[in-house]
Structure formats: C-alpha cells, structure tokens
C-alpha cells in the first residue's frame, strides 16, 4: 500500500508519512473534499507543534523541490521542506534550552549571592579592615580592632546587619550612648575607624591595592560620612618644666628596664609609645635609631630618624631583644599600655593628674619655649609632615637640628634651678 493509499484510508486523521533523521515527522491528512495536505510535526518543550507545508500536487514533477504553480508540493519537495523546518526547530529548541540553562545558572548564582551577602555584616567588615591594617603594618591595627569590637559588643544588632544596608541612623544611637556616658575620645575613635573601614570597601572596585574580598561587601555609600565627626581635643595640659623635671628624677630613681624606658620616653623627644616599642634591633645605630611611622594614610610607614644622646644610648643598651628591642617572651614587643601603667605607678601622686600622653605635649611645649622651630619639632616627633614637599621632596633628615633640640631638652631636665627662665639654644 502506498503512502497515499494509507492516508486516504484514514480521512481526517494525521498520518505519518516519514520519520525525519533531523527530528520530527512528515505527516499528511485528507479532508472531506479529498485534498491531501502535508505537515511537519514535532515536540517543543513537551508540547506538540505542527506546521503546514502545503497541498500535495500529484501533477508536479516528483523530484521537484519547489512549490508548483498551484502552490502544491511533490513528495520530495514536501520532504525537503520538512527537513528545513526540522533544522530550524532544532536551532530554536537549542537556543531555548541554552537560555533555560542560563536562567537556571543565574538563579543559582543569585541565590548563592543572597546567601553569601548575609555573611557580609558590619562585624565582618570591621574584622577584615583591622586585619588589613595589620597586614599593612599600621601600628593602630590592634586599637582599631579592639575599639570596633567593643562598640559592636555594645550594639549587637548593628554588628549582625548586612554592611551594605547599614545607615547613619544605625550608628548614631551607639555613638550617642558613648557621649552620654561621658566618653571623651571613644565616640571619635569609633567613628574614625568605622569610616575608614567603609572607605576601604567603597574604593575596593577601583583600587587594585585593596584586596578583592572587600568588593563582596558591595558598599555604594559610606554611612559614617553623614555623621558629624567629633572634634579632636588637643592636650591642653602638657607637663610643665617642673613636672618634667620631677618625672625625670622619678625615672632616674626607678631601677631596671622600667626606669630605662621612662627615661627613653623623654630623651627620645616624647615619641609615640606604640612606635617606639616596635623598634627593631636592625634599626639601632651608634648615634640614632630609625622608627616606622605608620600613622595616617601612607601606604608604607615613614622612616623616622631619632638621634641618640649618650645617656639614651646607654639606657637602650640595657635591652637585649634580638628582633624587637623592647621585647618580652622572646620576640613580642612590650605593649604601650604596659609601659603607661609602669609610668603611672612610678609617678603616683607626685605629679597631679599625670597621664603619659602629657609627656609628648610637654616636650613640644618646652622646646617651643626654647625657640625650637615648629619644623624641627615636627621632624623630631614625626607630626605635621603632611605637605607634598615633606612627603616627596625634602630628603633632609634635620638630624643636626633634632640632635641640638634633644641636647637642649636634656639640659633642661638636668637643671636643678626651678625657674620659668628656660635655657638658651645650645651653640652649634
């Protein structure tokens, strides 16, 4: 029985004429008037698809692939058209499948991101920031970590909040509580460290020096920018000349390493304890030491040269650390808080309201009164050196000027005359 006989035997029904190697089938159907119509049939996304090819024209040359003048097809022409439709169908189906796979992958990625972003909390950002500061050799990295963790412990809801969703209003209640509790420096420190942490994450996408993990926080705005910075309070109570002489006598009376550190705190010009205590043995020379000043936004610590008076060199020689000079338990530097406690315990009530930070301001005030210029004082104590010229071009270490200033300070401390008249500048 020919394919046409089979079709005519089932009027009104779709009868398969041929299964195509490219997919789908060629079908035919005879209507009530006896006309035979050819179709391409396939499945797409589980649904049956049938496309009309045209009428079968028995008078058309059997090998012709084009439509006849009547618009009909030979069997060969219908087969060729069906193959063409099968190829197009496969292309469409492949595109749809690829699109579906892409959409599935995108949904999975979005779901994973939603899960991951829940871990990008304020607490996590602060911890990553403190770790980065430690990696960069910033001396205040431990203070940043401790200060921010203390704040988050008091404000746990803020700590668990997604960092990119935190607003200024989330920080203000905790900062206000610190102000109301009479904390003078704490609110400013918290705001400063938190602002710096958010700035790092904010610039991560455009700064190759910032580790890529900070991009995951997706910070688009720094919420701390909207919070007014607490004005810095300068130390308005520097030690007087008489108080520094009293401190000097106490330091001379204090035995061992404690006394030596107390004396070095003065004889080295009132250096920051955090920097002084991280002095390495390799940075000790016969007539000077070299400290790393990591304060500020410098990518690398500034090398800070401090001359050594003979008395200071002798005290420095009492410490035997091979890595860090002022070391305990092998190569662990003494903590600034430990030295400050030693100083406070030694001074006791002999200096009213004594605080170790008053030594630094006392030294600067005394040197200023003796005519030492602000430029030299800045180089001696490594502060106020923010200008472009100082950062990049001025290679002069001011060594002789700093040494002269330290001699003047030593003469002042060693004088037994209690008077407001300060020694004149040393010749040379």
d(CA 229, CA 73): 85
Domain-embedded: residue 419: no
Q: What is the pLDDT of residue 23?
A: 84
Q: What is the pLDDT of residue 109?
A: 67
Copy the structure tokens of residue 291. Answer: 């400290």
**Predicted confidence (pLDDT) per residue in 268-296, tens digit:** 999 989 889 989 999 999 999 999 876 65
Query: Among residues 116, 150, 172, which one ends one of the domains?
Result: 116
Q: What is the DSSP letter of 221?
A: S
Q: What's the pTM value of the predicted model, to 2 decimals? A: 0.56
What is the extent of the structural domain holding 50? 3-116
Do residues 101 and 211 both lie within one domain? no
Query: Among residues 116, 133, 163, which one ends one of the domains?
Result: 116
d(CA 356, CA 188): 20
Q: What is the pLDDT of residue 394?
A: 47
d(CA 184, CA 321): 36
d(CA 268, CA 276): 9
Q: How confident is the model at residue 395 (pLDDT cuts 50, 70, 90)?
A: very low
Do residues 293 and 215 both lie within one domain? no
Do residues 256 and 369 both lie within one domain? yes
* Span 245-267, average pLDDT: 94
The pLDDT of residue 250 is above 50: yes
Q: How confident is the model at residue 391 (pLDDT cuts 50, 70, 90)?
A: very low
Do residues 112 and 132 both lie within one domain? no
Residues forming beta bridges with residue 55, ordered by sequence position: 37
Number of domain units in the chain: 3
The pLDDT of residue 105 is above 90: no
Run of H or E including 394: none
Q: What share of the chain is helix, strand, coil (3-state, %, to 5)?
A: 50, 10, 35
Residues 77/67, Cβ–Cβ less than 8 Å: yes
Name the region of 256 (left: φ>0; alpha: ψ -120 to 50; beta: rest).
left
Q: What is the pLDDT of residue 17?
A: 92
Domain-embedded: residue 141: yes
User: Which of 112-126, 175-189, 310-324, 376-390 has the least mean pLDDT?
Assistant: 376-390
* Span 216-236, average pLDDT: 81
Do residues 290 and 399 both lie within one domain? yes
Q: What is the pLDDT of residue 115?
A: 47
* Cα within 13 Å of Cα(170), Cβ side: 21
Do residues 206 and 246 both lie within one domain? no
Angle at 122 between CA 120 and CA 127, to 5 degrees: 90
The pLDDT of residue 218 is above 70: yes
Give residues with Cβ within 8 angstroms of 153, minimum separation 6.
159
d(CA 42, CA 383): 81
């Amino acid at each position: 029985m020919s394919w046409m006989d089979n079709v005519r035997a089932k009027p009104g029904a779709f009868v398969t004429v041929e299964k195509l190697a490219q997919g789908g089938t060629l079908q035919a159907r005879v209507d009530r008037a006896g006309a035979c119509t050819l179709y391409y049939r396939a499945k797409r996304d589980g649904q049956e698809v049938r496309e009309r090819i045209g009428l079968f024209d028995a008078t058309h040359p059997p090998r012709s692939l084009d439509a006849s003048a009547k618009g009909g097809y030979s069997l060969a022409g219908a087969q060729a058209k069906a193959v063409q439709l099968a190829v197009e169908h496969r292309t469409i189906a492949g595109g749809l499948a690829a699109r579906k796979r892409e959409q599935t992958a995108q949904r999975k990625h979005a779901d994973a991101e939603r899960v991951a972003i829940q871990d990008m909390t304020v607490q996590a950002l602060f911890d990553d920031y403190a770790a980065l500061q430690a990696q960069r050799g910033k001396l205040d990295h431990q203070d940043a970590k401790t200060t921010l963790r203390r704040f988050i412990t008091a404000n746990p809801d803020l700590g668990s909040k997604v960092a990119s969703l935190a607003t200024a209003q989330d920080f203000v209640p905790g900062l206000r509580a610190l102000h109301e509790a009479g904390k003078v420096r704490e609110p400013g420190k918290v705001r400063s460290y938190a602002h710096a942490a958010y700035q790092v994450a904010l610039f991560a996408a455009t700064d190759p020096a910032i580790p890529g993990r900070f991009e995951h926080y997706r910070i688009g705005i720094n919420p701390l920018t909207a919070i007014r910075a607490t004005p810095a309070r300068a130390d308005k109570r520097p030690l007087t000349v008489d108080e520094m002489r009293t401190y000097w006598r106490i330091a001379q009376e204090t035995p061992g390493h404690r006394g030596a550190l107390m004396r070095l705190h003065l004889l080295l010009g009132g250096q920051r304890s955090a920097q002084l205590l991280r002095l390495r043995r390799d940075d000790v020379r016969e007539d000077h030491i070299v400290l790393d000043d990591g304060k500020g936004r410098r990518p690398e610590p500034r090398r800070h040269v401090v001359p050594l008076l003979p008395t200071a060199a002798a005290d420095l020689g009492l410490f035997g650390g091979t890595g860090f000079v002022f070391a305990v338990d092998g190569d662990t530097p003494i903590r600034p808080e430990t030295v400050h406690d030693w100083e406070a315990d030694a001074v006791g009530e002999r200096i009213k309201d004594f605080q170790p930070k008053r030594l630094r301001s006392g030294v600067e005030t005394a040197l200023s009164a003796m005519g030492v210029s602000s430029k030299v004082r800045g180089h001696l104590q490594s502060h106020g050196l923010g200008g472009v010229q100082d950062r990049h071009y001025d290679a002069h270490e001011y060594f002789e000027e700093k040494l002269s200033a330290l001699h003047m300070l030593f003469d002042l401390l060693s004088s037994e005359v209690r008077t407001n008249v300060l020694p004149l500048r040393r010749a040379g």
